[in-house]
Amino acid sequence: EAGVAQSPRYKIIEKRQSVAFWCNPISGHATLYWYQQILGQGPKLLIQFQNNGVVDDSQLPKDRFSAERLKGVDSTLKIQPAKLEDSAVYLCASSGSDTQYFGPGTRLTVL
Amino acid sequence: GENVEQHPSTLSVQEGDSAVIKCTYSDSASNYFPWYKQELGKRPQLIIDIRSNVGEKKDQRIAVTLNKTAKHFSLHITETQPEDSAVYFCAANSPGTYKYIFGTGTRLKVLA
């Protein structure tokens, strides 16, 4: 079974620039999550999708972050404009039931 | 809000000794408790999980125990090896939402 795929793996941008991350969940998984993990901390949920609908985006900084999952499969997370404090690993996870499976993450560095 | 407390934040053990990491959850409705291992620069990987209808679950050198009354669960690693060195996260689910509340993580170092 293929795992959760993410790209790019690494991204370096200047502050105020834009960036987008892509996630392809495990086939058949209805629920998709985007997490932000700052070095030394646990994953922080940014947004949760059930199929193509948003279940929880209470911790998403909506003035600069956006996410979509148009066809209920792949998802993109965008940051515009980026700030220094956005430097982190962005993890995508998917689940078909209780268990969440994580992708390899995208390490974002904002200079 | 709901939270999960995890202790200790760091743990050093000699190779071959046992390691125990403890978590306490606040939502009495939580019924699923996974544990993830995250090696440096890698994704969190599920290593074991337990549901609320079970008190203990074991998989080779790893075991998890659950005390629903006290609302705490623990990860036990026996005969630790250097490759067990990583950050371990516990989590508790928020029933009906498929959302997790994560603990703050425990950095385990196994000294050779």
B19 touches chain A (CB under 8 A): no
| Contact between B46 and A101 using a beta-carbon 8 Å cutoff | yes
User: Which of A84, A85, A100 lies closest to A34, judged by CA?
Assistant: A100
B25 touches chain A (CB under 8 A): no
Q: pLDDT by residue (tens digit) across A3-55?
A: 999 999 999 999 999 999 999 999 999 999 999 999 888 899 999 999 989 99
A26 touches chain B (CB under 8 A): no
- Minimum-distance CB partner of B104 among A42, A56, A102: A42
User: Which of B12, B33, B43, B20 lies closest to B93, judged by CA?
Assistant: B33
pLDDT tens, residue order, chain B (112 aa): 689 999 999 999 999 999 999 999 999 999 999 999 999 989 999 999 999 999 999 999 999 999 999 999 999 999 999 999 999 999 999 888 889 999 999 999 999 8
Residue B66 structure tokens: 């659950």
